[in-house]
Amino acid sequence: MRGYSLLEIIIVIAIAAILLAISVMAYSAFLDRQRLNKAAEEVVTIIQKARAMTISSYDATGGVTTFGRQYCVQLNGFNDPVPGDPNNNKLILDDTDGTLVESYTVSEGVIVYSVLVNPDPGIPREVCFKRLSGDAFVKVSGNPLPLSSATITLKSQSSLKTRTVTVSSTGVVQAQ
């Protein structure tokens, strides 16, 4: 009867450890991609929600009205977040009067890395939508200015991979 030598056992354990390390790294990368994809889709969803509410003339204070409202998504404070600020990494859905409808915090493990709005209205960065057409615009001193494009870059905190969400002048929102 012959058993296993110490060398054979060590080799088997080393191979098992290498396979385990490879599978853990692959699973970690998979989870990271999933978090980033989820965050990008959620950002797309909240921006599309603002556009849909505007086009449908939805009134958050009481349903559909003949007057309707225009809705915006605030994209403030992402390029220079203030440590400890509860509004870091948030998208704010409001109407053009500034009435808060909903706020959304980007998924854990993902940060809003940058926001580029063209033309840049300065602070606040707010993408709004026109009634009926759904075209995007930005507010500058209370006046609407046509939007050429808006780009929101999301970055994973662990892998530093990025996803980009764009809003076109016609209000179409896409994750890339």
Residue 40 lies in a domain: yes
- pTM, 2 dp: 0.78
Per residue of the chain (176 residues), what is the pLDDT tens digit? 688 899 999 999 999 999 999 999 999 999 989 999 999 999 999 999 999 988 887 766 655 554 667 888 887 655 555 555 655 677 888 887 778 888 888 877 887 777 788 877 666 678 889 888 899 988 777 778 888 888 888 888 888 889 999 999 999 999 98
Element (H, E) at 7: helix 6-55
DSSP assignments along 8-71, one per residue: HHHHHHHHHHHHHHHHHHHHHHHHHHHHHHHHHHHHHHHHHHHHHHHHTTEETTTEE-SS---E
CATH code (residue 23)? 3.55.40.10
pLDDT in tens, 37-75: 999 999 999 999 999 988 887 766 655 554 667 888 887
Residue 129 DSSP class: E
The range of the structural domain enclosing residue 128 comes to 6-175
Closest CA to 148 of 113, 112, 122, 121: 121
- Residue 73 sits at φ, ψ, to 5 deg, of -120, 120
Residue 1 lies in a domain: no
